[in-house]
Structure 1
Amino acid sequence: MNWVERAAELRQWSRGGVRAPHKPLLLLYALGRFQRDADDELAYSAVEDDLKRLLEEYGPTNRTSPAYPFHHLVGDGVWEVRSDRGSGSPGTGVRELRTTHAAGRLAPELRAALRRERSLLGRMARALLDANFPPSLHAELCEAVGLESAPAEVALRTTAGRRRDGRMRELVLTAYEYRCAFCGYDGRIGPVAAGLEAAHVRWWAFDGPDDVDNGLCLCSLHHKLFDKGVLGVGDGHRVLVSQSFVGHSAAARAQVTDLSGRPLLGPQPGTAPVAASHRGWHTAQVFRGAPRPARTAPSPA
């Protein structure tokens, strides 16, 4: 049984690129707990708050109860649930899971495989991360679920046979003339760009192509905030800033809130800007809450 492929291909509700990473988040969390205590059983009432925080921070914009993946992951053959009613999940509701003292853990066959093969846990974690989240969030997600960083050498085989195009970074940075499209940062160490990255607008894990019109040159800070849904790109290729973001310092205002409504810097003439379909996907699936009103320039004295 190929557990890595099974992790990468967890059955998820899907329609038109809608994100539904509930099961991957629970499985990542369970792998983190297994890494710390291979015999640990996860009582729903004890882990509910942890799962809720993961869904709020890394899940879709529409809220979903952590009871959903706790129940439905059983059908993927990697998870089991027991309760006062015996083997099997007692239902999809929070109340049912709480009152029946439901507890879950990795399936017996998977636990045995993880004990036999020390590298399997990291490879499964990498598969889950690559299939559901952008690279900018991988390290902090591992930390959030208590996992050691997943190995970088795992190459995933996807159902569509897709492979990343290694040229994308250079093409995107060239298109935006090696400066952040949000703030204009253009740092270098000698001839080498420092702290500039090529961000996918529609995530590669959700069929985002390695094309210039699906890319932005962003500094490391704004790339992370873009993938976290704090920043977005709206009509007229202007920066969106989420009303959910809170920052009172001068640095937070200068680096985030004051960007609201600012036009993107680039791409250079003759290069395709971000396609409307990719901007729309990011706004619907990643950007959090409503955008702040565009910042207005101060009135002249």
Structure 2
Amino acid sequence: MDWVERTAKLRQWTRSGARAPHKPLLLLYALGRFQRDADGELPYSAVEADLKRLLAEYGPPRPTTPAYPFHHLVSDGVWEVRTRHGLGSPGTKVRELREEGAAGRLAPELRAALRRDPSLLGRMARVLLDLNFPPSLHEELCAAVGLELEPAEAERFATVRRQLRDPGMRGRVLEAYGYQCAFCRFDGMLGKVPVGLEAAHVRWWAFGGPDAVDNGLCLCSLHHKLFDKGVLGIGDGHRILVSQAFAGRSDAAREYVGALAGRAISGPGRGFSPVAAAHRDWHTAQVFRGDAPPAEAV
């Protein structure tokens, strides 16, 4: 059985490019727990808070519940749920999962395969990350679920990922935006080499976002991470949005984030296409965390 292929083909709700990373997040979490305790179960009542936090931080902006993936991942053959009555999930209602003492863990065949081939865990994790999240979030997501990937293995799969994507996109996007962050205008160079500048996909590559300038922004490392986390977005007139959910007490937080609200994006230069409305709308619906408050209220 090809577990990596099965991982890549998890059945997920999808419509018009909507994100539904519920199952991938649960499976990543389960792989992290297996790495620490190969024989342990995950009682729903004990892990509900962890799963809810992961969905809130890495899932789509719309409200959701960890009960859905806990129940529905069973249908993909990689997960099992037991209650005090035996094998089988009681459903998707939180109350039932709690009251029936539901506990989940990786399917027996998968656990056996992971014991036979320890490298399988890393390959499955990399597929889940690549197909559901932008690279800027991979490292912190692994830390959030307690996954430790071998450095050599992570580099090997990063090489594969670069071959799948257009390696020229970064250069084109940085050139289009004059080698400065479109949000804060940071333009660091080490000699003649740009530093701290990255090409951000507006519509994530994992969700059909093309390697094209009209789906890219030149952003500094900080603003790229905040853009992919939904703290920052793009509104009408290509003006910067700041999420109402963002809070920061320091002057730095106000200067580098809050003060961006309503500011026009810098670039791209003449001859280059600005961010396409379809990609901007996808990011607003699937990543950005809510409407922006008035600039004076940030």
**What does residue range 110-149 of structure 1 map to in structure 2 within 5 Å?**
110-149=110-149
Deviation at 1:65, TM superposition (A): 1.0
User: CA separation of 1:157/1:97 partners in 2, compared to 1, >3 Å: closer, same or farther?
Assistant: farther
2: distance between equivalents of 1:164 and 1:295?
40
1:261/1:295 contact within 8 Å kept: no
Q: 1:111 to 1:156 in 2, by over 3 A?
A: farther
Could you tell me how far apart the structure 2 residues matched to 1:248 and 1:103 are? 40
Deviation at 1:290, TM superposition (A): 1.5
2:128, 2:140 → 1: CA distance? 14
Distance 1:9 1:276 in 2: 29
Q: For each residue in 1:231-287, what CA deviation from the matched residue of structure 2 results, as whole angstroms up to 9, or x when unmatched?
A: 001111110001110012110111000000101111001100000000000000000
**Structure 2, unpaired ranges of 5+:** none
Q: Does 1:87 align with 2:90?
A: no
Asked if 1:152 corresponds to 2:155, the answer is yes
Question: How far, CA to CA, are the matches of 1:2 and 1:171 in structure 2?
Answer: 37
**What amino acid does structure 2 have at the position aligned with 1:250?**
D
C-alpha distance in 1 between matches for 2:240 and 2:37 = 45
For the residues of structure 2 that align with 1:185 and 1:9, how far apart are their CA atoms? 40
User: 2: CA distance between counterparts of 1:51 and 1:279?
Assistant: 28
User: Distance between the aligned counterparts of 1:250 and 1:294, measured in 2?
Assistant: 16
Counterpart of 2:202 in structure 1 is 201
Unaligned runs of 5+ in 1: 297-301
Q: Which residue of 2 aligns with 1:101?
A: 101
Q: Aligned equivalents of 1:133 and 1:96: distance in 2?
A: 31
Length-normalised TM-score, structure 1: 0.94
Task: Find the counterpart in structure 2 of residue 3 from structure 1.
Answer: 3
Deviation at 1:201, TM superposition (A): 0.1
The sequence identity of aligned pairs, in percent, is: 72
Aligned partners of 1:233 and 1:283 also within 8 Å: yes
Question: 1:22-61, aligned counterparts within 5 Å?
Answer: 22-61=22-61
Q: 1:38 to 1:67 in 2, by over 3 A?
A: same
The letter of the residue matching 2:284 is T
Question: Residue in 2 aligned with 1:299?
Answer: none
Greater share of helix: 2
**Quick check: 1:32–1:147 contact (8 Å CA) kept in 2?**
yes
* TM-score normalised by length of structure 2: 0.95
**Deviation string, structure 1 residues 78-118 (Cα, Å, up to 9, x no partner):** 00000022111011100111011010000011001100111
Aligned residue type for 2:103: A
Whether the aligned pair in 2 keeps the contact of 1:236 and 1:263 (CA below 8 Å) is: yes
- Residues 139 and 149, structure 1, Cα contact 8 Å, conserved in 2: no
Q: 1:156 to 1:77 in 2, by over 3 A?
A: farther
| RMSD, matched Cα | 1.6
Task: Note if 1:189 corresponds to 2:204.
Answer: no
**By how many angstroms is 1:156 displaced?**
10
* Matches of 2:159 and 2:40, distance apart in 1: 29
**How many correspondences in the alignment?**
293
CA distance in 1 between partners of 2:291 and 2:238 (Å): 17
